[in-house]
Every structure is written in structure tokens, then in C-alpha cells.
Amino acid sequence: MLGLTALYLLIFLGEDIMGRHPSRSSSLSGFTAQAAASFKPPQPCQHAKDVVDICFNLVHELVKTGKCVRLNKRENSILYLSALFHDIGKDRVPPELLYASRKLTEKEFDKVKEHTQFGYEYLKKQPIGFFNRYLKEAQREGYDVALLGEHDKKAVESISRTVRHHHEKLNGTGYPAGLKARNVSLGMRVVAVADAYHALRSKRSYKEDCPEGECVNTLWQEVRAGRFDGNVVEAMTFIADEGQRAPSRKLKPMREMRLAAPAPL
């Protein structure tokens, strides 16, 4: 069973806040220095790849149950890249805060939260070619994505914005902007739930892997508290245990939800 502090950190900050090892070479950590030295693109860590996979499964489930409209290839590309890069800004957060096993002070916590803004600033400056490099790899892996058009700045803005707001909560208690309700886009909701579920489910140096049922129950607590989207968590419940525990409650469909809502910046 996770302690309350660990649980809070996982839900509030997502993966890696306490469990990532500084020397893990395959993580996104250190991409800035690495990229500057070798001009090689940052390598996504397994968590990022798994979050992508969960996000696609969530959307597939939401579409299948009529909760949201099918995404086209360009929207799939935006979702793929948003999920892949959701925590890229953590590379600019001091490692001693990311890997701290003690409770962070409020000021330190604020510093960690800045990873959302750092990610936004980094991604919005990248040329289309940067994103298409990852999309080519995604196509090779079988994802139904399309390369972005040479002048598709709106896609870059959508990706950057989803990364900036992947810790927003529907009741406005998230960060960095305290967005509420419909200002939290479908992409933000999906990445938030996938990130939290994977972080809870994974074994880390400070915790055992959390059983599926316990992870799902934790996510439903977040729904009841008004923080996570019930439709997305319902889809997550179905994916996690093949529908055996999926609640039968009626949830308002999100058919009008857009992947990237016009969130204020």
C-alpha cells in the first residue's frame, strides 16, 4: 500500500518524481546537454512510450463506447507527441528535487511543477522536422499517425499546450494555470490519467507495483474529488482489467471535446 505522501506525489506530479534513477541513460533526462553535444534527438524513456500506448488505448476505448469522436491521423500525431513529451521539461528541474525521497518543501514543489512550463517552452521552439523524426518512428511501430505539414504551427502549439497543461485538474486545482472543466482538453485529460495510472502501476525503488484494482480505485477517488475525467477513468478501468470492474454509471459523453481546447496561456 502506498503512503499518502507517495500517492499524492504520483497523482500530482506523475511519473519519476521519486523513482527515476539519475543514471538511467534511456530516459529523457539530460536531453538538453546530450542534444547540444551530439545534435542527437532526445531518447524517450520507457515510461513515456508506455504512456503513449495507454493514451491510444484510452482513445480507442472512448471512441468504441461513443464517448468521443474518432481522431484523424493528424490528431493521432498530436496525441502521440503530447504523450511522448509530456515530461520532457523535467530535464530542467534539479535532479536532487526529482529524486528526493523526502517530502519536498512548498518552494521545492513549485520548482518541480515548473517542468510543465519548461516542456512547453522547449517544444514550441522546435521545427516541424523535430516532431516528424519521432512520427516516422511511430509509423514504423504501427501507430496510425501522419507526418506534420511543413507549416503546421497549430499542431506544434497543440502539442506544447497539452504538455504544459498535463497536470491540470477538472476542478481547477491543478497546475500551472488552474484550468477548469472544458478548458482542460481531451488530450490533457487522457495524458493525465495515463501518466497517473502508469506511475501507480509501476514498481519503483520506493514502492512495489500497485495492483490493477488498487490503481483503478485510486483513479476513481480522483474522479469523485472532481479532478480526473470519469469517462477517461472508465476507459482506463476497462483497459486495466478487461471491463470486469467497469462502473455502469451513466457518464456524459465528451463528443464535443476537442483534442486541444483553446486553453488560455
Q: Give contact residues for Fe ion (rule: CB under 5 A).
A: 14, 87
Which position's Cβ is nearest Fe ion? 14
Q: What is the CA radius of gyration of the chain?
A: 17
Q: What does 188-254 look like in DSSP terms, one character per residue?
A: HHHHHHHHHHHHHHS-BTTBPPPPHHHHHHHHHHHHHTTSS-HHHHHHHHHHHHTTTT---------
Smallest distance from Fe ion to CB 13, Å = 6
Smallest distance from Fe ion to CB 169, Å = 13
Considering the complex, state which of residue 50 and residue 87 has its C-beta at the smaller distance from Fe ion. 87
Say if residues 191 and 162 touch (Cβ distance below 8 Å).
Answer: yes
Smallest distance from Fe ion to CB 150, Å = 30
Considering the complex, state which of residue 87 and residue 168 has its C-beta at the smaller distance from Fe ion. 87
Say if residues 176 and 164 touch (Cβ distance below 8 Å).
Answer: yes
Q: Is the peptide bond before 127 cis (omega within 30 degrees of 0)?
A: no
Smallest distance from Fe ion to CB 31, Å = 15
Of 109, 122, 123, give the one whose Cα is nearest residue 17.
Answer: 109
Considering the complex, state which of residue 14 and residue 44 has its C-beta at the smaller distance from Fe ion. 14
Q: Given CA atoms 158, 257, 141, 116 in this order, what sign does their dihedral have?
A: positive
Considering the complex, state which of residue 12 and residue 56 has its C-beta at the smaller distance from Fe ion. 12
Smallest distance from Fe ion to CB 90, Å = 7
Considering the complex, state which of residue 87 and residue 222 has its C-beta at the smaller distance from Fe ion. 87
Q: What cell numbers appear for 253 in the block?
A: 459523453
Considering the complex, state which of residue 48 and residue 260 has its C-beta at the smaller distance from Fe ion. 48
Cα–Cα dist 168/117, whole Å: 12
Smallest distance from Fe ion to CB 228, Å = 15
Say if residues 157 and 147 touch (Cβ distance below 8 Å).
Answer: no
The region that residue 101 occupies, defined by phi over 0 for left and psi between -120 and 50 for alpha, beta otherwise, is alpha
Considering the complex, state which of residue 90 and residue 207 has its C-beta at the smaller distance from Fe ion. 90
